[in-house]
Chains A and B, each alone.
Chain A
Amino acid sequence: EVQLVESGGGLVKPGASLRLSCAASGFTVNDAWMSWVRQVPGKGLEWVGLLRRRASGGTPEYAASVKGRFTISRDVSQNTLYLQMSSLKTEDTGVYYCATDRGWLTFDCWGQGTPVTVSS
């Protein structure tokens, strides 16, 4: 069974950094396209970025709102996807989900999410 478990969220001040983790089971993160998606409280969903599977180059793509500040990576030995967030802004507040991508940014398995609050 495919399962994703996020962790690492918390309360940080503007300008701070935070690293989120997404532990995967039931598949190998190296073999899957994966994304981070966030949800602003009481609002909709926003795609944050993706990491291609190794066979497709293993490179990331990012939404314009986070490009240059966020970095997606993976650790195959831990079977874990990461989201390194820096220069955090108040508008980065939300619940962050990792998800597997069945193709064309269609997300078929989601974690339970980890909340991030950026506030002074």
Chain B
Amino acid sequence: QSALTQPPSASGSPGQSVTISCTGTSSDIGGYKYVSWYQQHPGKAPKLMIYEVSERPSGVPDRISGSKSGNTASLTVSGLQAEDEADYYCSSYAGSNFVLFGGGTKLTVL
């Protein structure tokens, strides 16, 4: 199984919104509601930002949101702040106790 496809980079100015896509297949994203998004700052561990497509863990601001349509999931960061600059990874359950990750998207706040 191939990794999920993410754009390598995305950018936006402070206060703007940016959306990062994550494309898979009917065997992963399209087949399950278990899509997650992780934020990773340089030298740090990943942090769960979104689970089950659109749910936010406690402490994650509501300007972070997720959605899914068909085989593509999306992460939207609204009201961009400097602290949002990081790498973002999507993941999807792919059946048979297996999970796929995306290649990551570097978000730059201009």
Instruction: State whether A44 touches B103 (Cβ < 8 A).
Output: yes
Tally of B interface residues using CB under 8 Å: 24
Q: Which residue of A lies closest to B6 (CB)?
A: A44
Interface 1/0s, chain A 84-113, versus B by CB < 8 A?
000000000000010000101111101111
In Å, the complex CA distance between A78 and B32 comes to: 36
Q: Report A-chain residues with C-beta under 8 Å of the C-beta of B45.
A: 97, 110-113
Q: Report A-chain residues with C-beta under 8 Å of the C-beta of B38.
A: 45, 107
Q: Which residue of B lies closest to A101 (CB)?
A: B99
Interface 1/0s, chain B 51-95, versus A by CB < 8 A?
110000100000000000000000000000000000001010100
Interface hub of B32, B45, B93 (most chain A Cβ within 10 A):
B45
A63 within 8 A of B: yes
Q: With both chains docked as a complex, state the minimum distance between the C-beta of B66 and any C-beta of chain A, in angstroms.
A: 12
Instruction: State whether B46 touches A105 (Cβ < 8 A).
Output: no
- Say whether, besides A105-B34, A105-B93, A46 and B101 are in contact (CB < 8 Å): yes
Q: Report A-chain residues with C-beta under 8 Å of the C-beta of B44.
A: 112
Q: Report B-chain residues with C-beta under 8 Å of the C-beta of A97.
A: 45-46
Instruction: Provide 11 A-B residue pairs closer than 8 Å at the C-beta atoms, listed in order of the A residue.
Output: A43-B103, A44-B102, A45-B46, A45-B91, A45-B101, A50-B97, A102-B51, A106-B51, A107-B36, A110-B45, A112-B44
The 4 closest A-B pairs by CB, nearest first: A105-B99, A110-B45, A104-B34, A45-B101
